[in-house]
Chains A and B, each alone.
Chain A
């Protein structure tokens, strides 16, 4: 399998949310709790010696996705060819029926639900439709400061290195998220 994943340059991210809005536009997701791409915020220190960092948080398409294992109806699967973790929304029974087992299993909060009871799970699919059309995911193309990239993980590692940590992110060895980082030095 040729595992696909993300690269995130935390030193460049201004926390602007262009990636998050572009994702909502591309997949036509209303404003509300369902956010396939999120921005996580860290603030440390005291004026004037501060650290502020942002973390783009999509689905990291883990090598061993706990969400898939947790789903009671097998609606989530990891694709053989590229390792992208996808959900079959026709098969998903909705969050009231299963109590959001996938979301609770995921260390990264990637499975997302709309506000309505029984909402079906939605999450980042690494823009499979775009990748198949030879494009980058919409979040990558949308980033005004070019802080994101995506593609085969081994290619990303060659280009950007193998750093697996960033501020606000813990690499879970058990599940092996498919991401490499340029982390932001965290001491103010």
Chain B
């Protein structure tokens, strides 16, 4: 049984303009030790998919229509807030894009980490290395020690002293390390990293990616890496899922997908990557725009922009189906696209 299973998830967001069908059949499954890259353009629903795993999408305006989200066999869509809180920070850690805004500027780094450690320790006392009935003072001391060792582990030099610094006293890359340490405190099974390197300098990006890669290997973590950057995926992911307009259109082993993409959208994405052997200015652009999710086109949502689409693609939305190179593709004409 997979650690994470998202099965045909449909979700709408209601606004003044009406209900937008923003997730239309998202399917995804992660095993321990796998790093999944979830790629797609802005607004395709990749961040939302990450947030549904922690049930952090406010509802209303969101409404779950159908499908399932399971974590370690547990149905998360049926879970109450208490259950979810026990998972968050303990078994599911999250890392977000901008390390500057994701740490509270008015509190010491240590204060924020210790609160997360105490929460994880409340769910599972063994995380703090204490028995169930330990005193408040003992728990605080253990939480602080744990926070220091985590900072040390993510590569913060002189962690025992730096823990009492304020966020603004760290550089951007160091702040992201602090946030990674915070996400790791509860010894989670799954880390959801939403564009963790987008706000950082290119040189720092590589360090953070290497760190995530190392941690995943050491702890056997599953990582869901949400990004719009296929380059990042190619660097550290073992698997990749491509999303378009609220649905996963292609998913599978990272080498198979990048080397022989079968969905026309994936093909366009890869063709748009700047490459050394292609002349500048020869980037393949995709005609048309992302559909309006308030009134999505019938059938396959990619049809209006698809180079190989046919009239019958508008009858129904294609489901994910395996192709000869191993990955799964949501396209009626995927075999022809080879």
A and B interact: no
Report which B residues bind A (CB closer than 8 A): none
Report which A residues bind B (CB closer than 8 A): none
